[in-house]
Amino acid sequence: MRRARAGAGGPGQAGRREAAAERHLEAFLEMLAAERGAAPNTLAAYRADLEDFAAFAAPRGGAVAAGAETLSAYLGRLSDLGLKPRTAARRLSALRQFFRFLVREGVRAEDPTALLEGPRPPPALPRALSEAEVEALLAGAARLPGHRGPLAVAALELLYCSGLRASELVALPAAALRPEEPMIAVRGKGGRERLVPISRRAREAAAAARAALSDRRRRGGEERPRWLFPARGASGHMTRQGLGLLLKDAARAAGLAPERVSPHALRHSFASHLLARGADLRSLQILLGHADIATTQIYTRVLEERLRALVEAHHPLAEAG
């Protein structure tokens, strides 16, 4: 491979390895063109990616003979260079196809990429609702008929004021929220318990939902519900799916696209709006119940957008650009 040859150090075993690697690369690219109809730009991208790996692998025994350890070290180098996970994943894909080709052609007995785990792109976040959209959603929820109105308002207030997960919300006991207690204990992922602040509005909405459900069940001769969001299923409380459907009904009543409204979207909106108003990541980590600050750092793009807007609005040379 041409980039590897530059560092070959002259003829000998290293030179023969690189000549063989060049030959196998050309055969691989010919296969892509003939069997898959790869376009010239695609072939050029494969060549660049594989030659970059060859340059890295040359002092480690060469590209064709590379093992999983060399490949892992290469991926680590890409990370150290600051390449985006998607770019690193694309290069790994090129290497996977190259080594599968070598196995198919009998050049290698095994594929060193078979058990290699590639870089994962950061998890996609739902689009946050604006503060005005959240208020419209609450107004739409209040218009739902019967007991579903107070129930939807309580669910929205609790999700948006606290960032609760859907599973944490539906499992709240009926007695969890008390007028004089601004904090509640929530058991999250891995059984970890955390204290979550609940706004006065959310406590009042929860009390209204509890009263509406109690009146309905009392008329039907039913016992007082154990859960804040009771249901007739085996668990005794609303399922996450049931919660999602309730929120989508509220979205329709508010004139919002139902696909944009979900418990996770409300949790994301809670985090985004707090950051936009000056909250720090460490506090947000505690509120969201993340075990690792790295998980919370997916929200840093909100901070980046805020800082960029700040510079554009106030820097004396911003208008010149």
Whether residue 318 lies inside any domain: the answer is: no
Query: Quick one: what percent of the chain has pLDDT higher than 90?
Result: 47
Q: Residue 221 — pLDDT band, cuts 50, 70, 90?
A: low
Whether residue 115 lies inside any domain: the answer is: no
Query: Quick one: what percent of the chain has pLDDT higher than 70?
Result: 86
Q: Are residues 143 and 279 in the same domain?
A: yes
Whether residue 246 lies inside any domain: the answer is: yes
Q: How far apart are CA 38 and CA 306, in angstroms?
A: 42
**Helix, strand and coil percent figures for the chain, each rounded to 5:** 65, 5, 35
Q: Are residues 192 and 306 in the same domain?
A: yes
- Computed over every residue of the chain, the mean pLDDT equals 85
pLDDT value of position 6: 41
Whether residue 257 lies inside any domain: the answer is: yes
Q: Are residues 146 and 243 in the same domain?
A: yes
Q: Residue 9 — pLDDT band, cuts 50, 70, 90?
A: very low
Q: Are residues 239 and 290 in the same domain?
A: yes
The CATH code of the domain that includes 250 is 1.10.443.10
* pTM of structure: 0.59
CB 270, CB 134: distance < 8 Å: no
Q: Are residues 192 and 291 in the same domain?
A: yes
pLDDT value of position 2: 47
The pLDDT of residue 8 is above 50: no
pLDDT value of position 302: 64
The pLDDT of residue 106 is above 90: yes
Q: Which residues span the domain enclosing 190?
A: 131-311
pLDDT value of position 292: 79
In the chain, the number of structural domains is 2
Using CA atoms of 254, 256, 260, 265 in order, give the dihedral in degrees to the nearest 10: -40
Cα–Cα distances (Å) from 107 to 14, 65, 101, 166, 220, in that order, read: 18, 9, 9, 52, 76
Q: Are residues 183 and 305 in the same domain?
A: yes
Q: Are residues 78 and 195 in the same domain?
A: no
Catalytic machinery residues: 165, 189, 264, 267, 290, 299
Q: Are residues 175 and 300 in the same domain?
A: yes
Which of 125-129, 226-230, 235-239, 244-248 has the highest average model confidence (pLDDT)? Answer: 244-248
pLDDT value of position 120: 65
